[in-house]
Structure 1
Amino acid sequence: MPTAPQPAQLTDIIGSLRRHWPVVAIMAIIGLILGVAASFAIPAKYSATTTVSVNPMNSQTLSASVDSARSVSMPTEKGLATSRKAAVAAAEELQPRYSIDADRIVKSTRVEIPEDSLILTIHFTGSSPQQAAAGADAVAKSYLLVRRTDAASEIDRLVKAANAQIAEIQADARKQAYASPIAQRSLRIQADALGTKLAELTNFDLNPGQIMGSAEAPTQRSTPGPVALGLAGVFLGLLAGIPIALLRKEEDSEIGGVDGLHAIGDQIVLDGTKDSNRADTWDIAAFMLKIPTEIGVDGPFMIMVDAEVGSGRSTTPGQELVDALSRRGRAARFVDAGAINEGKISRGWPADKKRITWAGEVIVIDTTHLTSDANKVALATRSDAVLLARSTADDAAALRRLSGLLKSKGVDVALTALFPPRQDMLAANR
């Protein structure tokens, strides 16, 4: 039965990134090149700022108080500053030095209102520092001009309407229908009210405000430069490169020889890929394992053997080691950990009671059919020696994962025996 896939461990991720670091590096370099190239492809933009103080328009120019600010709607003034009417006036203001149409001015203008103030902060984005500064000042002047012009037009309309009403009252006063004292008095009251209104309109403050701070040509561009875009490109390259490196199919998904095992970090590797008979390799493995000549009665000498599950194999690797030990005159007991309840293993199998019954024996525990790497590691920590049996066709990623887990628990692999793929072995025996 095939082993269930195990979740990726941190050691797997780090190992995969270490093995495929050129992929990550190449993606980072590509991102850097694209970022720097984009900085030259994107037109440079500069932003300049002009501040305008908005004056509350009223008929008491000398006695205007702070309360008059309530008569100013700053969101309305912001809309006026960014309106097409102001943009058309700004385009005329910039002629003939800069040929910028009203639509572009609208898109290039941004207005902010500091909280609880009668201040408009006008930002203008241009293709050069000088154009940005000129554009910000032009928009500010145009806003003030449009505001004054609109106010003056409204005053003229109201004055004309009031004069027309006064003329109508004077005409009515000469009519016989209004000859009575009461009618004449009513007409005089209306005329006096219109006269007062005309006086107020005549004294109306048409000062729209003033520019508090003219724009200065910026020294730095507002769009990202080569350094910023280059760093952003490196970051995006890393974001793209790391997943590619992690998901990239392992070129060495098969172990591929002794060098592959040494790259994983195993200290001792027995290369049996040239042996036509697996028994020869196991005989050498039994010789290389440091098994005491005499085993005390206080407990057994436990050897954990782990291998990848292979098809067409009638004898398990653990039994092959037992047979090799027998050929060397050492009796050994074979235990298939796959037949033991995994919950029992996780709780501490083999218990002291079981170890006592094995006292003085060599116990070979085969974990090939265990589905949990955690249980394999648990048994490894309770064993006196760990032997890994792998073929060049086995999954190197799975071996790296298990090796990393063993190392994290301080377990040293006594020996790794390397075998040829099963089909190669069958061909050699024909």
Structure 2
Amino acid sequence: MNEKPSVGIGHYVVVLKRQWKIIVAMALLGVLAVVAFLYLVPSRVMASTLVNVNVIVSDPFNPSRPASGLLDAATEDQLASSYVVAHNAAQTLQGGDDAAALRDGVSVTAGLNATTVRISYTSSSAERARAGADALANSYLLYRQSEADARKTKMINQLQQQLTSLNAVLGATALADRSALSGRISSVEYQINQLTAIDTTGGSVLTPAAENPVSVQPQTSTFLASGLLVGLVLGVILAFIRNAFNRRILDGYDVGLVGAGPVLAELDGSRGTIPARGDDVNEFRMIRERMLASAGTSLEALTVIDATQGGLSDVAPNLAVVMAQTGADVELVVMGTSEKYMTLLRDGLQLVPDTTDSDEEAEILGSLRIPHLKVTRPDRTGTHDGADDLVTGVVRRRTAGRKPGTVIILALPADAPYASRLAAGRLAGAGVMVAERLRSRADDLAAGAAQLDEVGAVLLGVVLLQRGRTITDTHETSHPATLEVPGRDAVSARR
């Protein structure tokens, strides 16, 4: 029995080639799902406005820290997305989005180690998105300025009140004590002057939204590519799952995978004849040569185990025909066959009772068409030793009493019991299995190979048939190529 080959990268390539329809179908399904999603979900457009934020310091020309270090990104984010900013921005938009929509669609990104802030706004169209982004940016800058102005005014007013109080005290103070008050008054006046000089501008727009590209969400190309990729991945996964659960034989690769190889031939025709015609003639001759090369030219007995869905195929009789063509005497023993199948054999091989050989428990026929070929059909209804339902006593006697130089072929049907396969394999010592694409199960093929191995029989290989291959009456076909038919004189002389 052949060892099962190890699984390499070639196995994955074979699976992908076999299941390409599933992969393509899942990829198309992924793309269609994305198309449906894009159709149902409205597109959104995002526009951005870049602003430079003015960081307010008391001495802008001599800062203790860089301006970027004084900018709190979280605070600016909260300011730009606040209701006040959105409400003020909505007031400037004529027929645009309202304050709630502006708040929902705004996003703020502060520049790293910089005083720039990018304010982005997402809306239903590019025009609305650009208008909203510019309105939010301007409202944000104005709000920062108004807040700074309010704080500046408040501080100045407090200092002015303090200065007024100090001046009043200065008028009622003795001349000797006025020096200290004058210093305090000068300090307050200096602070007022410093506050007055502070720039409270919120900032400036560096790049308006109209000058920045817009982005559309969801992005059609990105989503389609994602759908295609997800579909392909799911398709590949399903392909391997289906391949793992599909135990039907598809081609010679499956045969080798279960350890039942090699494949002696693949008969692609949907109909076969007895004897073979057309391209099948050459296929059966190749099977013969491969069997002889594998078993040696001294092949004496062979069992043909059918693993198809039907009864007996045309493989066993055609193997007997091509073996008889080599000049060897061949006896084909067909077990468990029907009358219909026997009719096909009688018509195709021109079988007549063999008067030179007889057995009470079997029907022995000689071929007028193929020299050196006889067909034996054990009588299942007759009396026999009961050793086996198919491999009866007559089968055992015919095999054991085989004349030197005679090749005996034991043909078992697809429904042959386990014991019959073991018995036929043990008697023959060599076997060939017949499988049918997409119908024969890998487990059955592996079991047949194991059965032959159990009894020490050599599995010469597998003949792979096209799915649904049937046997056609010879008279119904008209292929020009056929096996050579010897003259009647030669057959009569042999008889």
Tell me the equivalent position of 2:108.
111
Tell me the equivalent position of 1:344.
none
Indicate whether 1:181 and 2:189 are aligned. no
Please state whether the residue corresponding to 2:89 is helix, strand or coil: helix
Tell me the equivalent position of 1:210.
204
Tell me the distance in 1 between the aligned counterparts of 2:9 and 2:65.
67
Tell me the equivalent position of 2:127.
130
Tell me the equivalent position of 2:190.
196
Q: In the alignment, which of 89, 96, 99 is matched to residue 97 of structure 2?
A: 99
- The offset of 1:71, in angstroms, is 7.0
Tell me the equivalent position of 1:291.
292
Tell me the equivalent position of 1:349.
none
Structure with the larger strand share: 2
Tell me the equivalent position of 1:396.
442
Does the 8 Å contact 1:130/1:217 carry over to 2? no
Tell me the equivalent position of 1:248.
242
Tell me the equivalent position of 1:154.
151
Please state whether the residue corresponding to 1:291 is helix, strand or coil: helix
Tell me the equivalent position of 1:140.
137
Instruction: Kindly tell me the number of residue pairs found equivalent between the two proteins.
Output: 318
Does the 8 Å contact 2:294/2:460 carry over to 1? no
Tell me the equivalent position of 1:355.
none
1:255-284 deviations in Å (ceiling 9; x for gaps): 4xxxx556868352699xx9xxxxxxxxx9
Tell me the distance in 1 between the aligned counterparts of 2:27 and 2:193.
74
Indicate whether 1:416 and 2:416 are aligned. no
- The offset of 1:146, in angstroms, is 0.9
Computed over aligned residues only, the root mean square deviation of the Cα atoms, in angstroms, reads 5.0
- The offset of 1:132, in angstroms, is 1.1
- The offset of 1:21, in angstroms, is 2.5
Select between 390-399 and 157-166 the one with higher mean Cα deviation: 390-399
Tell me the distance in 1 between the aligned counterparts of 2:11 and 2:265.
22
Tell me the equivalent position of 2:492.
none
1:13-72 deviations in Å (ceiling 9; x for gaps): 3333333332222222221211112122221121222121222334567x5789762673
1:362-381 deviations in Å (ceiling 9; x for gaps): xxxxxx9xxxxxxxxxxxxx
1:145-194 deviations in Å (ceiling 9; x for gaps): 0110011010111012112222333344466xx54723x33322222211
Tell me the distance in 2 between the aligned counterparts of 1:157 and 1:111.
30
Partner AA of 1:42 in structure 2: V
Tell me the distance in 2 between the aligned counterparts of 1:147 and 1:293.
94
Say if 1:165 and 1:248 are closer, same or farther in 2 by CA, change over 3 A. same
Tell me the distance in 2 between the aligned counterparts of 1:234 and 1:247.
20
- The offset of 1:415, in angstroms, is 3.8
Tell me the distance in 1 between the aligned counterparts of 2:400 and 2:169.
135
Does the 8 Å contact 1:387/1:417 carry over to 2? no
The unaligned stretches of length 5 or more in structure 2 are 256-262, 273-284, 308-386, 389-394, 407-424, 447-458, 466-495
TM-score, normalising length: structure 2: 0.51
Please state whether the residue corresponding to 1:48 is helix, strand or coil: strand
Say if 1:25 and 1:285 are closer, same or farther in 2 by CA, change over 3 A. closer
Tell me the equivalent position of 2:160.
163
Tell me the distance in 1 between the aligned counterparts of 2:294 and 2:39.
76
Tell me the equivalent position of 1:69.
67
Does the 8 Å contact 1:129/1:219 carry over to 2? no
Tell me the distance in 2 between the aligned counterparts of 1:325 and 1:225.
80
Does the 8 Å contact 1:390/1:417 carry over to 2? yes
1:105-143 deviations in Å (ceiling 9; x for gaps): 233223333333322222222211111111111111011
Tell me the distance in 1 between the aligned counterparts of 2:12 and 2:400.
38
TM-score, normalising length: structure 1: 0.58
Please state whether the residue corresponding to 1:268 is helix, strand or coil: strand
Please state whether the residue corresponding to 1:216 is helix, strand or coil: helix
Higher RCO (CA 8 Å, separation ≥ 6 residues): 1
- The offset of 1:238, in angstroms, is 1.5
Does the 8 Å contact 1:308/1:394 carry over to 2? no
Say if 1:71 and 1:185 are closer, same or farther in 2 by CA, change over 3 A. farther
Indicate whether 1:268 and 2:265 are aligned. yes
Tell me the distance in 2 between the aligned counterparts of 1:15 and 1:70.
61
Partner AA of 1:107 in structure 2: D
Tell me the distance in 2 between the aligned counterparts of 1:87 and 1:212.
20
Q: In the alignment, which of 235, 254, 259 is matched to residue 229 of structure 2?
A: 235
